[in-house]
Structure 1
Amino acid sequence: MTSITHGQAIPSSTQSEVDVRATLRRDHVDPGRIAIGVIIGRTSEFFNFFVFAIASVLVFPPLLFPATDPLTGTLYAFAILSLAFIARPIGSVVFMAVDRRHGRGAKLTIAMFLLGGSTAAMAFLPGYESAGAFAIVLLCVLRFLQGFALGGAWDGLASLLALNAPQDRRGWYAMIPQLGAPIGFILAAALFSYFYSRLSMADFLDWGWRYPFFVAFAINVVALFARLRLVVTEEFGSLLERDELRPARVGATVRNNGPTILLGAFVPLASYALFHVVTVFPLSWMHLFAHGDIATFLDVQMFGALLAMAGIVASGLIADRIGRRRLLGLTAVVIGLGSFCAPFLFDLGIIDENVIVIAGFLMFGLSFGQAAGALASTFERAYRYTGSALTSDLAWVVGAGFAPLVALGLCAMFGLVAVGAYLLSGALCTLAALYFHQSRLDTKEV
């Protein structure tokens, strides 16, 4: 990774950017250190998410809904999965107030311990046979707390990283935080694959599935300290002040940036919908309809996640050459074409589910790599921290929160063609949002 902190010539920049980089050199807080903190933090967040998502397919239906058929039980579990996305904006608003009154270190400490604690508490979840409806209510509460804590985990590191990137490498630095998603998936899938393949089904449903939830707490503690090492330092605080990455009041942010927040939430819709269509949904499809080897399929998905990492890295290089808006538009077009063609090619036997999943992961990486940068780049610095958080929360609710539930329901009623149509609608929404954004994603001063 190229450092910008060792005194080399700075390309044409505004005076404020020169001042920021001078501060970076003086305080020795370089983009490399920020990037490490960002990746560790995002990995922990996505690991928590994917542990729950995989358990929603393999564990929660028989554990909590034994009287229902497997499909109905999985739909119920996916409905609970969506609760975190509803809670996340609420958590953002509450933790913004905590940030303003007590500082970012206090906010992150509370949020990360709440996130890890609620996830680890799920490891002790009783089954319906022993606790009845209380077990379902308890899982709903813990899932809501997960999303609430995720709202507080927004630390501003990704925005700071983008702000201090060279003008011609902003796409490269924007993709770095996104690597946390495939890494988090690989860790979660590897744990479930190991226990699912090594244990009998009775032992897996009794105690084996609980270990990944224990691991989540340890990962969150590591992520917390990695981020606090940056956030609570005096040098980092001065950078936040200089870059105006303090939490603005939510009301003022919405009044000044309401249309931007709403429109920005639809820009990554294709990517966020694909996020679930290649991870959670195909696992449920394989488990319920294809009855394939789940451990083997998780291995295929982990290979796909490695390709997604390559796609994310490539997105940084491509975006710096052709522009972020153009890359997002091109990937949306490819996602739309793929979502239209893939179900028919699958029905004809030309491609199988593994090819679809692997190709989907690659396209997910290329589109997801610039999704967060697209959200952040449209805000003035004074509102960037709060505006980016609110836009991200809304984008996840609209694009991903209900995707597994909707995709599985459509598949059960109409087949895979309906899932393709659902994903196609997300691609069209992204293209429409990019059109209305015009050239703002590439030309707005950041």
Structure 2
Amino acid sequence: MSSSQDQTTTPVTTLEQDLRNTTADRSKVAPGEIAVGVVIGRASEYFDFFVFGIASVLVFPYVFFPFLGRLEGMLAAFIIFSFAFLARPFGTALFMTIQRHWGRGVKLTVALFMLGTATVGMALLPTYDTLGVWTILLLALFRILQGFALGGSWDGLPSLLALNAPRHRRSWYAMLGQLGAPIGFLVAAALFLYLVLSLSSEDFLGWGWRYPFFVAFAINVVALFARLRLVVTDEYTRALEEGELEPIGTREMLRRQGYNIFIGSFAALASYALFHMVTIFPLSWISFNESQSIHDVLGVQLAGAVLAVFGTIASGWIADRIGKRTTVALLACLIGVFALFTPMLLDGSPIQQDAFILIGFALLGVSYGQAAGTVTTNFERRFRYTGAALTSDFAWLFGAAFAPLVALGLSANFGLAYVSVYLLSGVVCTLLALRINKSLEASD
């Protein structure tokens, strides 16, 4: 390893060494164990975010914004929803610095503790009628902390899997980290569905909605220990060092590899734009128009999440045969076709709305399964660890942060055609980014 790389090697603190000692008797970390750590870690993070997203529709307009109408209350909640995505790149930058000074174990522990604390803080917030505007400010603060924490929870496991996967199975291994999204939504939606069916409206809005936030904290504790079993072992440390996966400073990262970060972010935009269009937005649109009962919508979304799980798994098989970028481009085109039918489906009968959700989830599973790391092979090896984290941050920011807010606001005021325009813009960005990336590779 070069001298410049030696200077960026993460130090081993006393705390991290103590954590490593608890796993000193473990043998070499197996790929299967890494895969389990990836799925558990991502599912726990997405569960937190989906709990907030679903609550932004079913709870927050009534508990924190009772002075607004239903539409305005949901839009206000969606503004706060976006704060986490705005904070996420800053969290990545901050926690990469923490890792360089105090180690991976300390970084991950602090990040997940922050995530759990912010989530529990939301569960304990008093209503607007009790605390007034201060409870809204606290909700916004906790949401920002969630974003910082999610940026800091990057553990490099997906990058390590990609580097160590057999060449002909790389897309299959890349898919594993993406499974966390549909699984996280599946658990969150199932929990809310159970509460909606089991409680009266008064009890649900009075105290029942707080339960998923407490569950999120418990899941984070389990996920923390599951991931620490891997990331603080000497075997994992050696694997990262052999792969030259380093916590590069954000300023240097943007200066040296910024073009790859932004190409990678836009290459995944069609999938990320679709993400909240089939998870959070349909729930808000149908709730606003009262065209179906909430428990019926959640039930259909649960079925959709199962389809997304199978679609994500299938994406690994498909991409290993026709190529990751071909798969992403093909699915972007299919999302474009799907976008054209959005107004007809969402403004139609309950059966048509259900078809929108189920088809959307199926497309999401296959496209999102390969959206991460579409162009990360372009990163120099030592930049891949931080580059993958920042690429994901900006893809979420550009593609998904404002999706529920923009889609609901425009649709309610000007019509559902704007949802089609939003999705089509993501498709165009994806195809252009993939074309630019191909041109850059050809010129090298």
Q: TM-score, normalised by structure 1?
A: 0.91
2:98 aligns with 98
Equivalent residue runs for 1:190-201 within 5 Å: 190-201=190-201
2:234 aligns with 234
Q: Aligned with 1:396: secondary structure?
A: helix
* 1:127 matches 2:127: yes
Quote the Cα distance in structure 1 between the aligned partners of 2:90 and 2:407. 26
Which amino acid in 2 is paired with 1:33?
E
Deviations 1:381-415 (A, max 9, x none): 11001111111111110000111100101111122
1:65 aligns with 65
Distance 1:323 1:215, change over 3 A: same
1:318 aligns with 318
1:300 aligns with 300
Which amino acid in 1 is paired with 2:118?
S
Q: Aligned with 1:66: secondary structure?
A: coil
* 1:187 matches 2:187: yes
Quote the Cα distance in structure 1 between the aligned partners of 2:292 and 2:70. 15
Deviations 1:386-445 (A, max 9, x none): 11111111111000011110010111112222111111111111111111111779x999
Q: Aligned with 1:150: secondary structure?
A: helix
Question: How much has 1:373 moved relative to structure 2?
Answer: 2.6
Question: How much has 1:349 moved relative to structure 2?
Answer: 6.0
Quote the Cα distance in structure 1 between the aligned partners of 2:413 and 2:134. 31
Which amino acid in 2 is paired with 1:421?
V
Quote the Cα distance in structure 1 between the aligned partners of 2:125 and 2:337. 42
Quote the Cα distance in structure 2 between the aligned partners of 1:149 and 1:347. 38
Q: Aligned with 1:246: secondary structure?
A: coil
Quote the Cα distance in structure 2 between the aligned partners of 1:348 and 1:59. 26
Question: How much has 1:375 moved relative to structure 2?
Answer: 4.7
Q: TM-score, normalised by structure 2?
A: 0.92
1:163 aligns with 163
1:175 aligns with 175
Q: Is the CA contact (8 Å cut-off) linking 1:343 and 1:420 kept in structure 2?
A: yes
Question: How much has 1:291 moved relative to structure 2?
Answer: 4.0
Q: Aligned with 1:286: secondary structure?
A: helix
Equivalent residue runs for 1:28-39 within 5 Å: 28-39=28-39
Distance 1:274 1:31, change over 3 A: same
1:5 aligns with none
- Of the structure 1 ranges 308-317 and 345-354, higher mean CA displacement relative to structure 2 is found in 345-354
* 1:251 matches 2:274: no
Equivalent residue runs for 1:41-440 within 5 Å: 41-344=41-344, 352-438=352-438
2:21 aligns with none
Deviations 1:89-112 (A, max 9, x none): 111111000000000000000000
Which amino acid in 1 is paired with 2:196?
Y
Which amino acid in 2 is paired with 1:335?
I
Distance 1:348 1:129, change over 3 A: closer
1:17 aligns with none
Q: Is the CA contact (8 Å cut-off) linking 1:344 and 1:417 kept in structure 2?
A: no
5+ unaligned residues in a row in structure 1: which ranges? Answer: 1-25
Question: How much has 1:360 moved relative to structure 2?
Answer: 0.2
5+ unaligned residues in a row in structure 2: which ranges? Answer: 1-25
Deviations 1:269-307 (A, max 9, x none): 010010000000000011111342111211110110000
Which amino acid in 2 is paired with 1:48?
D
Which amino acid in 1 is paired with 2:34?
I
Question: How much has 1:197 moved relative to structure 2?
Answer: 1.3
Which amino acid in 2 is paired with 1:423?
L
Quote the Cα distance in structure 1 between the aligned partners of 2:425 and 2:62. 33
Percent of paired sites with the same residue = 57
Q: Is the CA contact (8 Å cut-off) linking 2:115 and 2:146 kept in structure 1?
A: yes
- Of the structure 1 ranges 388-397 and 153-162, higher mean CA displacement relative to structure 2 is found in 388-397
Q: Is the CA contact (8 Å cut-off) linking 1:378 and 1:440 kept in structure 2?
A: no
Q: Is the CA contact (8 Å cut-off) linking 1:270 and 1:430 kept in structure 2?
A: yes
Quote the Cα distance in structure 1 between the aligned partners of 2:67 and 2:112. 36
Work out the number of aligned pairs and report it.
Answer: 419
Distance 1:368 1:302, change over 3 A: same
Question: How much has 1:245 moved relative to structure 2?
Answer: 1.2
Which amino acid in 1 is paired with 2:372?
A
Q: Aligned with 1:215: secondary structure?
A: helix
1:13 aligns with none
Deviations 1:66-100 (A, max 9, x none): 11110001000000000000111111111000000
